[in-house]
Structures are given as structure tokens and as C-alpha cells.
Amino acid sequence: MKLVHYHDVVRIRLRSPMIISCRSGMDMSSKMHKIREYCKKLDNDSTVIWESAHHQILLWFDDKKYESYFRMIGM
């Protein structure tokens, strides 16, 4: 699975993002690390697009099942 930053995406239409709120910059860094590790483990062509601002991580998924997984693990 590829984790791609929002600024590196060629114009595509995105659905509403999944928003992950963070308590601090350190919490945000920890959660991004977990997201990167998860994406590395999956060997498929799916893409997760991410952006961050104001202690929030925004994720867009091209495959809804991965969004459901992230919600289940409490991200």
C-alpha cells in the first residue's frame, strides 16, 4: 500500500477525509508512524493520501475497507 502526501497527488476527486485528532505534535508523530508501518505491511496497489494540520491527520482511502480497519483500531 502506498502512503502519499496530499501535495504529491495529481488532481483527483477525493471523498471526505477520515480525521484523526491528536493531543500534541508527539502524539501526531506517533500515529503517523503507526500509519506508515501499517501501509508498509500491506502488499497491494491501494493508496492512502494524507495531510496534516493543527494536530489533525487527514486520510483519504481509495479502498473503503482500509478506512473501516483504521476506524476499528481506534486511530
Give the pLDDT score at 65: 82
Give the pLDDT score at 2: 82
Give the pLDDT score at 43: 79
Q: Percent of the chain beyond pLDDT 90?
A: 35
Domain locations in the chain as residue ranges: 2-72
pLDDT tier at 29 (50, 70, 90 boundaries)?
A: very high
Within its chain, how far is the Cα of 40 from the centroid? Answer: 12
d(CA 51, CA 53): 7
Is the pLDDT at 46 greater than 70, yes or no? Answer: yes
d(CA 71, CA 75): 6
